[in-house]
Each structure stands twice: as structure tokens, then as C-alpha cells.
Homo-oligomer: A and B are copies of this chain.
Amino acid sequence: MNSWKQFQEENKDRFLNELLDLLRIPSVSAKSENKEDMLTCAKAVEKSLQEAGAQTTKIYETEGHPIVYGELIVDPSFPTVLVYGHYDVQPAEPLELWKSGPFDPTIIDGKIFARGSCDDKGQFYMHVKALEIMTKTNSLCTNIKFIIEGEEEIGSPNLATFVKAHHDLLKADVILISDTAMISMDTPSIDIGVRGLSYIEVEVTGPNRDLHSGVYGGAVANPITILSKMIASCHDENNHITIPGFYDDVVESTEAERKKMAEAPFDLKEWSTDLGIKEVWGEKGYSTNERTGIRPTLEVNGIWGGYTGEGAKTVLPSKAFAKISCRLVPHQSSAKITEMVLAHFKKNAPPNVTVEAFEHHGGEPYMTPIDSHEYKSAAKAIATTFGKEPIPVRGGGSIPICALFEKELGLKIVFMGFGLDSDNLHSPNEKYDIANFYKGIETIPYFHKYFAEKNA
């Protein structure tokens, strides 16, 4: 075992510099202007897999951004671990709030500040480096396959087609994903669930052109006012979501489950102070951790309409827009919820305006059973390197493809995340602690070891 640690120590500066190079590529999947960067990034990922010891690699074209595949089959009798990750990142805007360039990774106080540093380049790259350590030390006791896609942040629109067409290629015994967080380095945890997602966009049109708000104001429906009313109507006074049927398929957690969740260390005051808020908000009857873990949500991710420039313009605008997404929990269906939310905006529109609404993307919620060998292998690996048993928690984020993986490949997914909630995912100044990066690299080989032990 010491050989793993020794190899890592001797190469850790290089590991870090390689990650920084990867972070310099602005692989924003949502933006067409970054299409070339996406291909550049895919090629860099493929090269890194080859250098780490993958025998076979291939970049698969899709209708959107390419998927990078790599594998190392040591022995057909070994169990196979399929590592999933993504090389695409969220848009970096608002740029003016970044303290350093989002694609100019900067290390401050042992943390790497860059878009994608934690989500997910820094995390999937730990697996690339763990592969290198295991191959260079001749200690691989599993076969490894990598599937690193470029469309996770836009809902993996082309991955399902790929998975369905490549059952044999992706044949494995477990899927391992590092794209989540732990409570802290002192309190390691494992996400046992991710929430599903429904993401829509709404366009409200009033008059056929922007109007003078004096000449027409008061007599023509203002699309911003109407959109605001429709958004306001999505939550009642207890912050329950009002859309009919929204909660129908939600599996209510038992009192026992909720009691166990409440035992996880959580300092509400510290959490609020970190966010700069005086009071938390959310659905009545649930704690903060329950609101982000076991309950579905509806959030407005963006809104715009009318004059948004400097100074004042007295306009009654023609159009107003909003981007809105829901996080879903078992057994809500992304397709059903998307349909309900679209219907809410279309059907509740007053006759003075026209409302168009369409789906961006979605994904189903997913949960890992904690009594499985898959989960136990991850827990044991973390206990080995952290010196503490990890706590199972319900994560708030989404990895849209999980449910499909399980259905198509018949595999359980383990979320072994080494990020922190405070890593500013999807926000300005995203960061990843170098210590977490190194700890992840150190921990991953133990997962392979423990997972292989039973199967061996």
C-alpha cells in the first residue's frame, strides 16, 4: 500500500499542474461559442487517460459534444469499475464577481479557484491519477472503464442514446462517480441520493413591440407584471409548491429516517453566516437539510425583460422571460413534473398575454442502497484514509443520467464525492481544495481494492 502513497508524493506537483492545464480550457457546454473548446478539452481528457495507462481510448461524436471513453482491462476475471464524470462546466457568468479569471486557475490558501475545479474536472481527474498510481505500481485489482461526457451541465441530452447503443462497451460491475460533496474533511460523508431535475424556460409576450409606458401604461398588460404574478403563484404562504399534483409521487421520509438525518453535524448559524443571510427560507415543516435533501423545489434561475441598462427608460416591454427549474425526489418523474410546470405557465396565463414555455432538460432522482457491497466498499475506503466512518447523506444536486445508467446497465451507482458545499459550484469563484484533490486520489485505489475483494 505504501507504494501508492509514495508514488503520489513523488508526483503530486505534476498531478496538480496537469489539472490546472485542464482547467484552462473554457469547456462551457451551454454556449455555442465554446464548441471548439469542448473538442479541445475532450482530446486533452483522452490524452490524460492514455498517459495514465488506459489501453484503449476513443472520442465518440454525438449530436452535441463528444464523449470520451477509455479502458484498461487487466484480467477478464476481475470485476470492472465504470467511472463516470464530465469535462464540461457551467457558464462562468457573472464574470465581474470572480476575483480571478474563471479559466485562469489561481491558487490561494491551498485552494484552486477556477470554473470546473470541483465540478467536475478536479473530481474526475482524481480517478485518472488513481489509475496512473495503480498501473505504475502494478497493483490494479479491477478492470477500469471511463466515460467522461461533455454535456452533464446541460442535462446529458445525448448520453442516453450512447448508453443504449453501447451496452457491451459499458459492461461493468459498478458505476463510480465523484461529482458530489462531503460535509467536511473532518466529517466525511457519502451522498446516497441525488435529486432529479426539470428545467424550463418561459416567454411572456404582451404588446407586439416595446411601448411608451406613459402613452400606453395602465391600459396594456405588462408582461413583466404578469410573469411576476405567475412566478409568485408557484409557492403558497408556507412555501409549498402550488402546482397541482406536484407532490403526488413524493416518497415521504419516515420519522426514523428524518431523525437519523438530523443527527448529522450541521451548524445552521455557521451555514447562514457563510451565505450572508439573516434567515433561512423554505417549505414549512422541514429543516434546512431536509429542504435540500428529501424535498422537491422550484427555483427561478434567471429572469429578464424590458430595460436593464444604466439609468431609466420609461418602457412597457413587449416581452419578459424566465428560466425555472425544479429539483425532484423519489419517485417523482422528470417528464411528468416538466409537463405540470409547463402547463402551470401556459394555462394560468391571462388572456391579455401570450405565454410560450419549453423544456431545457431534465433527469430523474436516484438513490443508492447503503446495505450494498458497492456502498460499503466506498465507505470502507473513506474510513481507511480519513480514519472515520463516512455519514450517509442525501445530496441536493442532480446528476441527470444516474437513473438511466441503472436501468440500461443494471448497475448500482456509488457517489464518492470529495468536494465541499462551500466550493461555489455553479457560482463565481468556484474552488477545490488541493487537500481534497489529493485525499481523493489517495482514497480511490482503496475503493478498487475493497470492491475487488468480495468479487474475487
* A residues whose Cβ falls under 8 Å from a Cβ of B: 29-32, 90-91, 93-94, 97, 153-155, 181, 195, 197, 199, 201, 206-222, 224-225, 227-229, 231-235, 275-283, 288, 291-292, 295-297, 299-317, 320-323, 325, 327, 350-354, 360-361, 395-398, 421, 424-429
**Shortest Cβ distance from residue A325 to the other chain B in the assembled complex, whole angstroms:** 6
Q: Which of B201, B292, B361 contacts A217 (CB 8 A)?
A: B292
> Are B155 and A312 in contact, CB atoms less than 8 angstroms apart?
yes
> Are A302 and B310 in contact, CB atoms less than 8 angstroms apart?
no
26 pairs, A vs B, C-beta closer than 8 Å: A153-B313, A154-B311, A154-B312, A208-B277, A209-B275, A209-B429, A211-B275, A212-B426, A212-B427, A215-B292, A217-B325, A224-B302, A224-B303, A225-B231, A225-B234, A229-B232, A279-B350, A279-B351, A301-B313, A303-B320, A304-B308, A307-B323, A312-B323, A312-B360, A313-B426, A315-B427
Supply 15 further A-B pairs (C-beta < 8 A) apart from A213-B297, A281-B350, A301-B317: A30-B310, A30-B312, A31-B311, A93-B309, A97-B209, A211-B427, A216-B396, A218-B282, A218-B327, A219-B288, A219-B292, A221-B277, A221-B279, A303-B320, A315-B426
Residue numbers in B under 8 Å from A227 (CB-CB): 228
- Inter-chain CA distance A191–B431, complex, in Å, is 61
Q: Please name the 8 residue pairs, one residue from A and one from B, whose CB atoms are nearest each other, closest first.
A: A208-B276, A30-B311, A214-B397, A218-B297, A302-B306, A221-B281, A232-B232, A228-B231
- Inter-chain CA distance A322–B228, complex, in Å, is 11
- Inter-chain CA distance A295–B242, complex, in Å, is 34
- Inter-chain CA distance A430–B8, complex, in Å, is 67
Residue numbers in B under 8 Å from A321 (CB-CB): 308
Q: Which residue of B lies closest to A287 (CB)?
A: B219
Q: Which residue of B lies closest to A354 (CB)?
A: B278
Residue numbers in B under 8 Å from A327 (CB-CB): 213-214, 217-218
**Shortest Cβ distance from residue A149 to the other chain B in the assembled complex, whole angstroms:** 16
**Shortest Cβ distance from residue A51 to the other chain B in the assembled complex, whole angstroms:** 32
Residue numbers in B under 8 Å from A214 (CB-CB): 195, 197, 292, 327, 395-398
- On whether A427 and B302 interact (CB within 8 A), knowing A91-B309, A312-B361, the answer reads no
> Are B307 and A302 in contact, CB atoms less than 8 angstroms apart?
yes
- On whether A307 and B91 interact (CB within 8 A), knowing A209-B429, A216-B396, A427-B209, the answer reads yes
Residue numbers in B under 8 Å from A224 (CB-CB): 231, 300, 302-303, 322
Q: Which residue of B lies closest to A227 (CB)?
A: B228
**Shortest Cβ distance from residue A41 to the other chain B in the assembled complex, whole angstroms:** 17
**Shortest Cβ distance from residue A43 to the other chain B in the assembled complex, whole angstroms:** 23
Residue numbers in B under 8 Å from A291 (CB-CB): 218-219
